Amino acid sequence: MAKDHSLMEDSNRSSNPDIHRLSDPARRTWVHGGLSAIVAGLFAPLLPGCAATPGAGTPKIGFKSVPVTVGDTLTVPEAYVASVLAAWGDPVGIAGDMPAFRPDASNTAAEQAAQMGMHHDGIHFYPLGAGSDRGLLVMNHEYTDDGLLHRDGMLTWSAEKVRKSQAAHGVAVIEVARQGAGWQVVRPSRYARRITAYTPMRVAGPAAGHALMRTAADPAGTTVLGTLNNCASGKTPWGTYLAGEENFYGYFHGPAEPDAHARRWGLRPGGWGYRWHEHDERFDATRHPNEMNRFGWIVEIDPMDPGSHPVKRTALGRGTHEGATVAVTRDGRAVVYSGEDARFEYIYKFVSRDAIRPGGGAANRELLDHGTLYVARFDADGRGRWLPLSFGSGPLTPAKGFADQGEVLVKGRQASDALGATKMDRPEWLAVDSEQREVYCSLTNNSNRGTEGHAPVDAANPRAANTMGHIIRWKEDGDFDAVEFRWTHFVLAGDPANGRPESRGNVKGDAFGSPDGLFMDPRGVLWIQTDASPTAMGKGDYARLPQNMMLAADVATGEIRRFLVGPPGCEVTGAAMAPDLCTLFVNIQHPGETPSERSDPAAVSRYSSWPDGGRPRSATVVIRRRDGGVVGT
Ligand code: FEO
Ligand code: CA
Ligand code: CA
């Protein structure tokens, strides 16, 4: 999410070290690399089926790097073709409820609840059957720009608009199928589903029913309406989907002087300007202070069971979670890595008590409720330690303000402060290299690092006023459940041609900044997606980087090559591949985003009309090689 960074939370004052038109299938055309290809693409031949797996000795990255472009288009390498599959407002395919997108944004809240949400983010592919030609795409819809969402933006405000905004949040499940050259959304589909900011979901794990989780509307503290600000996401080996709840505090209206707990979690009057509290009182934290405690969790969803309730898994901890990435120990237990994307916050891992059982989501419905949560400390000597967030351990006692494990989890930031965890430069996505048994985490940027009143640079976060970000990686001692690890920097992002030496980085290959989305494909290629903010792009350290992009990294050689450049103002976030590795799905979020204006439709759509010439729309894009080969080779 790239937003007005003056709103971004920075509450950790602890003393720790630190042509494209689409959506209507009848109008579908191709989006691809180069101007000549725009015309050629209109007559693109049918793509063949997937070519054979690349042989031994084939370079991991074989495509020709794309230049940094500035056009209102999406650019991929010459040998590739891209098409839009599902944009904001397209019907997801619920039988009997498939309202078409209205380009003037006049769809009702009820219609929006059956359509793709706004601002696509983390995405995963779940095959249906043995092949790679049919499956489910499950994806997050992180937030809304209400200036675009409603016909007249926020110039008027009503309960119906709040409901539509809530309906445009959450998660979408769509069925997709390959038909010759391209992919289509299957409509209707028995799997098609929308989960919104008001879908009932169960609370599970140690914080379920806790006094801090109880509200007037839910005195048991076990049922929450909705999930929101779902950013990155994870896929479990047992077939479920994990959605993080990131900047949840921005939806709540708080008092002028919040208490210490609320202040540590970013509560402020008016929040980030969503204005939900004006027509939905549970977002008014001056009246319902515990409602905010019920957000910031990781939500597990079983896409194969359309009737299942999503579950907030409190054992995985509370934070401004991007997402959750799963590794498996040699004895079959799940290890879930997550981070909090806020300046000076932390990196976490959860180790399940029990081993994963065969039988999918139904057989593992309590797996993520029992285990140990840790927070990371990165030491200056290249070693690191996982500190248990376990009640009774070290300072996590009643004398220090933690009554039980539920309170440790709800107040995860305070517990991590007390343990002396390392304050990081905005941890975004994590990726696991199962073969090398290494973990990567993008630290997108932190312009406050080392500035007055803030934590100084440290070994793991070595740049003051870190505008470009970095990617850290570590190897656990032994298995993924280890309590110690060895870390290094995979890359300090930057533009080697920058005038400011400290922001040049050590990039081998193409320049980039603000790494955010990470996806480790089964060949061991690390895909990096960027989210530089609209206020930064094209200026200063980003003078030669005017638009966000996606790159491929060979983690063995460190070479990084630019694969895609998005339209103006967009963030590239979320990637998934079909099992044959010949189809890549990528999400393009908030094309045309302005530096900060979210209420006026004219202002919000000034910079882009991607993908279909009208209001800019976030969208899932399908990318394939023209010869049907493995993507990235
Ligand atoms: Fe939603 Fe941290 O990006
Ligand atoms: Ca980001
Ligand atoms: Ca992100």
Residue 357 alpha carbon to ligand 3 centre in Å: 31
Mean pLDDT is lowest, of 58-72, 218-232, 419-433, 548-562, for 58-72
The 10s digit of each residue's pLDDT in 393-413 is: 999 999 999 999 999 999 999
> What pLDDT shows up at residue 24?
24
Q: Look at residue 632 in the predicted model and tell me its pLDDT.
A: 97
Q: Token digits for 153?
A: 């933006």
How far is the C-alpha of 404 from the C-alpha of 543, rounded, in Å?
50
Mean pLDDT of all residues in 171-200: 96
Question: For residue 531, which atom of ligand 1 is closest to its CA?
Answer: 3
Average pLDDT over residues 218-230: 98
Which numbered ligand comes closest to the C-alpha of 445?
A: 2
More confident residue, 69 or 19: 69
**Digit-coded pLDDT (tens) for 505-553:** 999 999 999 999 999 999 999 999 999 998 899 999 999 999 999 999 9
Instruction: Specify the pLDDT at position 391.
Output: 98
> What average pLDDT does range 597-602 have in this prediction?
67
Rounded mean pLDDT, 112-117: 99
Percentage of the chain modeled with pLDDT above 90: 86
Take atom 1 of ligand 1 and give the residue whose Cα is closest.
Answer: 1
Query: Terminal CA-to-CA distance of the chain, rounded, Å?
Result: 29
What is the amino acid identity at position 12?
N
| C-alpha of residue 47 to centroid of ligand 1, in Å | 34
- The per-residue pLDDT for 593 is 87
Counting Cβ atoms within 10 Å, is residue 627 exposed (0-12), middle (13-18) or buried (19+)? Answer: exposed
- For residue 4, the model assigns a pLDDT of 45
What residues pair up with 38 in beta bridges, in sequence order? none
Lowest mean pLDDT among 104-118, 142-156, 487-501, 598-612: 598-612
* Mean local confidence (pLDDT), 4-22: 48
* For ligand 1, atom 3: residue with the closest CA: 1
Q: How much distance in Å is there from the Cα of 304 to the middle of ligand 3?
A: 26
The answer to whether residue 323 sits within a structural domain is yes
Least confident of 152-166, 205-219, 587-601: 587-601
pLDDT digits (tens, 9 = 90+) for 240-262: 999 999 999 999 999 999 999 99
pLDDT value for 21: 22
**Total structural domains within the chain:** 1
pLDDT band at 599 (very low <50, low <70, confident <90, very high): low
In the structure encoding, which two tokens stand for residue 365, read together? Answer: 């419905």
Atom of ligand 1 nearest to the CA of 247: 1
Distance CA 166, CA 283 (A): 12
* Residue 362 CA, ligand 2 centroid: distance in Å: 33
Residue 394 · residue 349 · CB < 8 Å: no
Per-residue confidence band for 595, with pLDDT thresholds at 50, 70 and 90: low
Please give the mean pLDDT across all residues of the chain: 91
d(CA 201, CA 551) in angstroms, rounded, equals 36
pTM for this one? 0.93
Residue 544 lies in a domain: yes
pLDDT band at 59 (very low <50, low <70, confident <90, very high): confident
What is the average per-residue pLDDT within 226-241? 98
Q: With bands split at pLDDT 50, 70 and 90, how would you rate the model's confidence at 1?
A: low
Q: 547 — phi, psi (to 5°)?
A: -140, 155
Dig out the tokens for 428 from the structure. Answer: 């975004």
Q: Ligand 1 pocket by C-beta < 6 Å: which residues?
A: 1, 142, 231, 246, 322, 341, 428, 516
C-alpha pair distances (Å), 585 with each of 134, 385, 414, 588: 13, 35, 38, 10
Residue 607: what pLDDT? 83
What distance separates the 2 farthest-apart alpha carbons in the chain? Answer: 71
CA 566, CA 545: separation in Å to the nearest integer?
Answer: 11
Q: Ligand 2 centre and the CA of 418: distance in Å?
A: 27
Domain housing 101: 25-49+92-246+296-625
Instruction: Answer whether residue 326 is part of any domain.
Output: yes
| Sign, CA torsion 239/366/342/349 | negative
Where does 63-132 have alpha helices with state H?
109-112
Q: Is residue 259 part of a domain?
A: no
Least reliable range by pLDDT among 145-149, 178-182, 386-390, 554-558: 178-182
pLDDT of 605 above 80: no
The reported pLDDT for the residue numbered 45 is 36
Q: How far is the CA of 14 from the centre of ligand 3 (A)?
A: 24
Distance in Å, CA 180 to ligand 2 centroid: 35
Inside any domain, residue 194: yes
Q: Is residue 54 part of a domain?
A: no
Per the DSSP assignment, residues forming a β-bridge with 136 are 126, 175
Q: Which atom of ligand 1 is nearest to the CA of 444?
A: 2
Instruction: Please report the pLDDT score of residue 69 as a whole number.
Output: 81
- Please indicate, yes or no, if residue 20 is contained in any of the structural domains: no
Tokens found for residue 237: 């080996």
Tell me the three state secondary structure of residue 361: helix
Residue 508 forms beta bridges with which residues? 559
Whether 12 is in a domain gets the answer no
Average pLDDT over residues 44-64: 68
pLDDT score for 47: 42
